[in-house]
Structures are given as C-alpha cells and as structure tokens.
Amino acid sequence: MPMRELAFQDQGSVHHCHGCGAANDKGLRLKSYWDGDEAVAKWQAEPHHCGGTRENLNGGIIASLIDCHSLNLAIARAYRAEQRPIGSPPRIGYVTGNLNISYIKPTPLHETIELRARVEKLEGRKVWVSCTLSAAGEVRARGEVLGVRVEWK
C-alpha cells in the first residue's frame, strides 16, 4: 500500500485557521488531499456541531468546511502550477471574496462528511471553485467560492 501524501494543511497551506489549521486545537482541522485535479476531504462532526436540531450538522459549519476546502484547493493548485511544494517560500495565500452555499437537504450529524472541490475558472488573482458536501452517499450542500490571491506574510 503506497504511503498517502500529507494533507495540504499538514504541508503548510495554512496554520491557525479555525476551519482547517493543523495548529488550531479548538478548530475543525479539516484535511484536504489531491484526487487527480480535484480535492477531497473527509470529516467527522462532534455533537456540539449540530444545527437547529441535534441530529443535523449546523449550516455555518457546512459553510466553514466548504470555504476552507475550496481555498485549500486554490492554494494547492497555485503551488502545483509553479512546481513548488505546498508551503514553500514565497508563501501563496488566498482569501474568500464570495461564498455561496445552497443547502439541498439536511446533513446527518453522525455520518462521515465528504467534500469534493474543483477549480472552475481562473482569471488573474481570482479563482472560482465549486464544492459539494455529501453524507451517506447524497449531496447535502453545494458551494461556489470566489478566492482572491494575496501576498501572505
């Protein structure tokens, strides 16, 4: 069995972010990986991540996961385009310009969440990423994320 590559976040795409920073022990610690030209992630909620009912995942957490997963793909893609390892200097950062989430059906809290994102369009500093969030084999939410490349310190 081949050794799995490190997640984007564990290679240094981001550090402290509440949604996906490996160094944030009170955050969601999402881990995103390449799957061809797309990015995939799996994530498991805890009971306090519930929404209006205790059985379903909170919509704000869904937005967080889609936002972080999509921007991590944008960052990873930019490093790949420059044929550099993720996190290598000079650092590449993206910030969210717009986040549009459609909630299709409730997301059960106790199922494993699966995210899949792909780059739809690139234009100068801007990138448009689409992302689905699935659980128990069904798409529960779809997101469109506009990311803007920034100089990162």
Among 78, 93, 107, 140, binds its own copies (CB under 8 A): 93
Residues numbered 119 to 138 that lie near its own copies (CB under 8 A) are none
Cis peptide before 106 (omega within 30 of 0): no
Q: Which is nearer to its own copies, 83 or 124 (CB)?
A: 124
- Tokens representing 29 are 């610690």
CB atoms within 10 A of CB 105: 11
Which span (32-40, 79-87, 93-101, 123-131) binds its own copies, by CB under 8 A? 93-101
Q: Which is nearer to its own copies, 25 or 123 (CB)?
A: 25
In SS3 terms, 35-78 reads as: ECCEEEEEECCCHHHECCCCCEECHHHHHHHHHHHHHHHHHHHH
Q: Which is nearer to its own copies, 72 or 134 (CB)?
A: 72
Identify the CA nearest to 58 among candidates 45, 67, 68.
45
Question: Mapping DSSP to helix (H, G, I), strand (E, B) and coil, where does residue 9 land?
Answer: helix
27: contact with its own copies by CB under 8 A = yes
Among 3, 54, 83, 89, binds its own copies (CB under 8 A): 54
Chain residues binding its own copies by CB under 8 A are: 14, 16-19, 24-28, 48-54, 58-61, 63-65, 67-68, 93, 95-103, 106, 152-153
